[in-house]
Each structure stands twice: as C-alpha cells, then as structure tokens.
Amino acid sequence: MIITLVLLMGFGLPQEVPKQEATGTVPPGGGKVTFGIDKDDPQNPTGDRWTGKRFEKALNVTLNSVVFRSSGQDLTTTGTYVEMTSRLVEPALLALAVLAVRGRIKR
C-alpha cells in the first residue's frame, strides 16, 4: 500500500482537477438550446508532487482500491494503471499476511 501511495503521489494524481466546460449553440430565432459538457484529460504534475494535499488524496485512492471500489478521483493514465494493479495485488498480499499470522498462531 505504501508503494501505491508513493506512485500515486508522484505520477498518478493530476496537477489540478480538470474543469468542466459547457459549450452550446443558440439557434436563430430562439428555440431549443443544446449544451455539451466536456472535461479536459488530467495532466501530469509539473510542480511540487510531494504536498500534504496530494498525500491525502493519494491515501484516499489507495485505501479505496484495497476494498475494490472506484475512488471517483480523476487520475492520470499512469494513476489509473497503478490503481488497477493495486486492486489485484494488495488484497492478495493482505490475504497472505493473514494466513502467515494464522500459521504462526496455530503453532
């Protein structure tokens, strides 16, 4: 989990939250207005990656990935792959740790 946390802080969280942008057209003479809402792709950070705010967000994503839930955070492409990998690896490692403790207690 610590490795996932460090990877997300360094590469997985975007520099800033992508903002939604609404664009639309108004037909001449009035009528129905249609809006399309788009989000920019999350960008890798270029400045300080090791801040308390980024730590808190990375910790939230990491803890959510352990219990197989989506964090709901906007992640970079690297962050998405880190989260998917941690969803597979971390529960397996936790299960092995529980079995190891159980084996020690039985002796």
Q: Is 23 strand, coil or helix?
A: strand
Tell me the pLDDT tens digit for each residue of 15-37. Answer: 776 666 666 677 777 667 666 67
Q: What is the pLDDT of residue 101?
A: 93
Total structural domains in the chain?
A: 1
Token pair 């792709």 is found at 41
pLDDT tier, 100 (very low <50, low <70, confident <90, very high otherwise)? very high
**Residue-range definition of the domain harbouring residue 84:** 2-106
* CA neighbor of 82 nearest in space, from 97, 95, 64, 56: 64
Tell me the pLDDT tens digit for each residue of 47-88. Answer: 777 888 888 888 877 777 666 566 567 788 888 888 888 888
